Amino acid sequence: MSIEEAIIRVFKNKPNKIFAVQEIYSDFEEYYDLSDYQRQLDSNHPQPRFHHEIRSVLAKLEHDGIIIRIGRNERKLAKNT
């Protein structure tokens, strides 16, 4: 399963929920096996590398209309998905 598919599954598992990004990070791990590299802290930022990957995919899913950004830290599944 790809990172994108795992993120979509997080949203579809609770289709009416508004997710904070931190919740997406933790729920995502139920569907995707992270590598040791992805779990490592990024040398430029004090966070695991997979956090950047997830935020990047979230931006793509927002652009594609699959999820909706409600606030700075809130996302939900689009109704047409």
DSSP string, 22-73: HHHHHHHTTT----HHHHSBPSSSSSBHHHHHHHHHHHHHHHTTSEEEEETT
Structure tokens of 18?
């508004």
Structural domain total, the chain? 1
Owning domain of residue 50 = 3-77
pLDDT tens digits for range 4-51: 999 999 999 999 999 999 999 999 999 999 999 999 998 888 899 999
Alpha-carbon gap, residue 32 to 30, rounded angstroms: 6
pLDDT in the model for residue 59: 97
pLDDT in the model for residue 45: 83
CATH number of the domain bearing residue 29: 1.10.10.2260
pTM of the model: 0.90
- Secondary structure class of 4 (helix, strand, coil): helix
